[in-house]
């Protein structure tokens, strides 16, 4: 098994992490952020589980497409000889129940039916493949990765893989006969090449520079680090690494703002001297302009 497209933190979650360290979120934005964090953690657990898939196959993670002006996202696909396996990963925790076609928490709150989401993405994926002439059998699975999940009134549905079934499902996959050829490689390359992009900034809470707390955030726990660049969690970092991380964070949050020595000094909360910041920027960026218009740009 080969991972052709690895999983990375999404731009939206990256930006939300940056913001969450520096401002208080409204309730809805906080809930979305927490759900994204939990979902990403579940996907990472799925990736760890999928390392034991032994067949000749290709795995692609985090795929986003647009078909007929409709966006759909796929957590992971596995291309084998005769089947494209689509996986929707859920990191639900606690007790849930099904009432007819509704999925509920035990407190009675309704959640989106994940089977509908799975069916929708399979339909859109089939259309995407048909439009390009890549016809292949698709099997879709809803994978509940968290061992502390239970679903009451669960239907007998072979598309649902519960935590207690993961080991047996892995054995089933590993018994699948699979030998890939150039056709499968072209399919994988196509699925990677036709991905689309949605701007993450449209889904962020409103924020302005002046309302954000300033300082250097610890990459491990996201708390602010002191002047010694040692965090209360025990993490320590050299000035150059800390400044470059902070510059990258600033560039993500304010892509249209110029990078200057004074600007980064303020953004870092004055924890590192202007002289040190100037030295680090000079070594890692290109200076453009003169006097008050002078700023640094990233050289690719």
Domain membership flag for residue 204: no
For residue 293, what pLDDT is reported?
Answer: 85
If asked whether residues 52 and 148 sit together in one domain, one would say: yes
For residue 22, what pLDDT is reported?
Answer: 97
Query: What's the structural domain count of the chain?
Result: 2
Domain membership flag for residue 67: yes
If asked whether residues 185 and 242 sit together in one domain, one would say: no
For residue 266, what pLDDT is reported?
Answer: 97
If asked whether residues 155 and 222 sit together in one domain, one would say: no
For residue 135, what pLDDT is reported?
Answer: 87
- Tens of pLDDT, residue by residue over 144-159, are 999 999 999 998 888 9
Domain membership flag for residue 208: no
If asked whether residues 118 and 257 sit together in one domain, one would say: no
If asked whether residues 8 and 73 sit together in one domain, one would say: yes
For residue 247, what pLDDT is reported?
Answer: 97
pTM, full prediction: 0.93
If asked whether residues 112 and 231 sit together in one domain, one would say: no
For residue 226, what pLDDT is reported?
Answer: 87
Domain membership flag for residue 207: no
For residue 100, what pLDDT is reported?
Answer: 87
Residue where a domain stops, chosen among 149, 166, 199: 199
If asked whether residues 241 and 159 sit together in one domain, one would say: no
If asked whether residues 193 and 226 sit together in one domain, one would say: no
Residue where a domain stops, chosen among 148, 176, 199: 199
For residue 165, what pLDDT is reported?
Answer: 97
Which DSSP string corresponds to the chain?
Answer: -EEEE-----HHHHHHHHHHTTSPPPHHHHHHHHHHHHHHHHHHHHHHHHTT--SS-EEEEEEEEEETTEEEEEEEEEE-SSEEEEEEEE---EEEEEETTEEEETTS-EE--HHHHHHHHHHHHHHHHHHHT---EEEEEEEE--TTEEEET----TTEE-GGGHHHHHHHHHTS-----HHHHHHHHHHHHT-----GGGGSPP--GGGS--SPBPTTT-PBP-TTSB-TTS-B--HHHHHHHHHHHHHHH-TTSPB-HHHHHHHTTT-S-HHHHHHHHHHHSEEES-GGG-EEE---
If asked whether residues 52 and 187 sit together in one domain, one would say: yes
Consecutive 10-residue averages of pLDDT for the chain (300 residues):
94 96 96 97 98 97 94 97 97 94 91 94 95 92 97 91 97 95 96 94 95 95 91 93 96 96 96 94 93 86
If asked whether residues 50 and 140 sit together in one domain, one would say: yes
If asked whether residues 129 and 235 sit together in one domain, one would say: no
Expressed as residue numbers, the domain containing 127 is 2-199
Domain membership flag for residue 143: yes
Q: CATH number, domain at 231? A: 1.10.10
Domain membership flag for residue 205: no
Q: What percentage of residues in the chain have a pLDDT greater than 90?
A: 88
Residue where a domain stops, chosen among 144, 176, 199: 199
- Tens of pLDDT, residue by residue over 183-202, are 999 999 999 999 999 999 99
If asked whether residues 18 and 120 sit together in one domain, one would say: yes
């Amino acid at each position: 098994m080969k991972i052709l497209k690895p999983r990375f933190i999404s731009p939206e979650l990256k930006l939300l992490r940056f913001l969450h360290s520096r401002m208080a979120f409204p309730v809805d934005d906080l809930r979305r952020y927490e759900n994204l964090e939990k979902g990403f953690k579940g996907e990472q657990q799925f990736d760890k589980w999928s390392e034991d898939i032994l067949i000749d196959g290709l795995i692609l993670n985090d795929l986003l497409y647009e078909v007929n002006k409709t966006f759909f996202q796929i957590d992971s696909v596995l291309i084998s000889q005769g089947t494209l396996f689509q996986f929707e990963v859920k990191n639900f925790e606690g007790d849930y129940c099904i009432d007819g076609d509704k999925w509920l928490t035990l407190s009675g709150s309704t959640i989106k039916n994940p089977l509908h989401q799975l069916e929708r993405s399979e339909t859109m994926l089939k259309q995407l493949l048909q439009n390009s002439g890549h016809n292949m059998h698709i099997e879709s699975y809803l994978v509940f990765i968290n061992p502390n999940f239970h679903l009451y009134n669960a239907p007998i549905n072979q598309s649902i893989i519960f935590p207690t079934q993961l080991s047996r499902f892995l054995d089933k996959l590993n018994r699948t006969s699979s030998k890939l050829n150039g056709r499968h490689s072209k399919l994988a390359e196509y699925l990677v090449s036709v991905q689309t992009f949605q701007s993450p900034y449209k889904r962020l809470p409103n924020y302005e520079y002046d309302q954000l707390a300033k300082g250097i955030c610890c990459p491990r726990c996201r708390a602010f680090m002191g002047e010694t660049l040692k965090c209360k969690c025990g993490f320590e970092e050299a000035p150059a690494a800390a400044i470059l991380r902070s510059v990258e964070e600033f560039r993500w949050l304010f892509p249209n703002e110029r990078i200057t020595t004074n600007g980064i000094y303020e953004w870092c909360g004055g924890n590192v001297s202007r002289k040190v910041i100037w030295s680090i920027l000079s070594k890692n960026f290109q200076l453009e302009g003169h006097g008050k218009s002078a700023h640094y740009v990233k050289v690719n």
